[in-house]
Every structure is written in C-alpha cells, then in structure tokens.
Amino acid sequence: MVKSFVNVIVEPFYAVFQSFWPDAVDDSVKPYAIEQYYHPGGDCRTGILLVHGFGAAPDIFDGFVEKLGELGYVVKTARIAGHGTSTAHFATTTLVDWYLSVRNRFVELKEECDEIVIVAHSLGSLISIVLASIYDVKSLVFMSPPIKLRDKALYRVNFMLRPVSKLVKYWPTDRKAVEQVERHGFKIYERHPLSAVANLIDMIEMANRRLPMVTAPILAMIGDQDEFAEPLVLDIIKEKAGSEIVEQWVVPHAPHAIIDCADFETLKDRIKGFILKYSPPVRNPA
C-alpha cells in the first residue's frame, strides 16, 4: 500500500519538480548502452540488426547477440538516439533522430553483409518498419510492436503533449514496466519526456502508413499480457503489410517487456527458427 502511494502520488510530483529544475543534458553513453558487435569468423554475408524499444537500451539483447552469432550471422545492436544517456538528453531528440540512428547502424552493417535481418522490440519495431519500407531487408522480427496502443486517450491528447511538455517536461514510467526489465538486469528510463511520448505517437502513425511498403517476411509476436500494445496489432500487421509471409505468435505469460515471458528459451528458439527458415546465413565461396 505504501509503495503504491509513492508510485501514484509522489513520483508524478517529483517529475513535475524536475521539469522546473531538470538535470543537465548528458549525452554520454552509459556502459550498459554501448552497442554490441559479433562476427562468427570467415566471410559471412548475412547480418542481423537488433533494435531495442522506447526508453530502453541495447543491453536488452544480451541474451540474443552471441546466440544468433553462433548460428553464422554477423550481429550488431543499434542504440536509438537519446537512449542509454539521460532523460534530459532523450528530451532533446526527435523521431527523425531515432530513425537516423538506426538507419546509420543498418548502413554500416550493409557495408559488410549482402543480406540484413532486423529483430526489433517495441519502438524499434516501428523504426524498422519505416527502414524496411525504404531499404531491402531480408526478413523482420517484431516483438511487442505498438502499431496501436491500448491507451486511446494518448491519441486524443497528442496535440497537447508538446505544448504541455514546456511546463511539465517528464512523467514517470509505469513502475511495473521498470521492474519487469530490471529483474533481468537491464536498464530502462524511470521517467519519460512528454515530448518523446508525442514523438512515439507520430512514429506509430508513420509506421502504419509505411507498412504496405514492407515486403520482407515478418514474424510478429505480442505477449498475452501486453499492457501497452493493443492485442489486435498482429492482425493489423498481417492485413496492412505488403509481405506475403506474416507469421504470428501470441507469447504466453508475457508482458510488453517480452523478455519477461515465462519461457525465454522458447522465445529465442522461435526467433532463431524463423530467421534460419527465411534468411539462412550466406557465405562467399572460398
């Protein structure tokens, strides 16, 4: 009861306080957010780009990088601009910054690989949809893609978020979401800039517009306990995407932070199986 009171009453007041006396903008990348790279050796020509979600960092893929690399892929994580630094820095970024930061990592990987697979979570899925509508992508894995949010009020007040953010800059992250990520040893911002939430809504709208231009095979998955994304997002992706192959999976006992599912190994195996099926590793002949 005491903890609930702190979460509901105290944390919003603290966020408002920080709006008037905000932290200094710190754009230095924290150790946990440093982008990872894995090369299996030899002349591998297939790469996998891993893109994290809103307020998170590349460390959320610590359980994926080496496992995918051992299958014979070059693996790289992308850090979305404003993430893994500070919330004050996060507040200075836009959806254009977010997209370009991922696009740049994609281009870097493309320079050494002929084919690219993208595995993305939440916001990373939205950015990857835009990216795959422009560039040639071999296949895509979307985890908890927030093509449509449960909270319909956010859409109605989106036009107010940027003006209001001049006065109330931050709002606390859902405490349950923070705990779901941190129990696995990963980091997530404990408060979000309202301007970043506005950018997220705009990115959702952009991803919906670009979905028909995505033709690569897709594996879309959502937890059956996802508290942010609408359960119908899998059907929306299947209906709107230009791809002829859209596999769907509702992950049992999983929240939006899908790594907190009941069976993480099965989740990884499902992703590995899809990638191997539609994008087997390619090597240049000796």
Mind listing the pLDDT tens digit for each residue in 154-184? 666 676 777 666 667 887 777 788 788 878 7
Q: Which residue has the tokens 């836009």?
A: 94
d(CA 80, CA 97): 8
**Prediction pTM value:** 0.90
Print burial letters for 117-144: b (CB count within 10 Å at least 16), e (below 16): bbbbbbbbbbbbbbbbbeeebbbbbbbb
pLDDT band (50, 70, 90) for residue 5:
very low
Q: Where are the alpha helices (DSSP H) in 133-210?
A: 152-165, 175-182, 194-210
State which amino acid sits at residue 178: V
pLDDT single digits (tens) 13-41: 555 555 555 567 899 999 999 999 999 98
Average pLDDT over residues 41-64: 93
Select from 107, 91, 88 the least CA-distant residue to 99: 107
pLDDT band (50, 70, 90) for residue 2:
very low
d(CA 146, CA 142): 10
Q: Which fold has domain 14-20+27-278?
A: Rossmann fold (3.40.50)
**DSSP type of residue 221:** E
Query: In this model, does residue 187 exceed pLDDT 50?
Result: yes
d(CA 77, CA 89): 20
State which amino acid sits at residue 65: V
d(CA 150, CA 132): 25
Query: In this model, does residue 149 exceed pLDDT 60?
Result: yes
Select from 90, 96, 79 the least CA-distant residue to 25: 90
C-alpha neighbours within 13 Å on the C-beta side of residue 217:
15
**DSSP type of residue 173:** P
How many angstroms separate the Cα of 202 from the Cα of each of 23, 93, 158, 196? 26, 13, 9, 10
| Coil vs helix vs strand at 32 | helix
Q: What is the dihedral of CA 122, 127, 128, 129, to 10 degrees?
A: 100
pLDDT of residue 262: 86
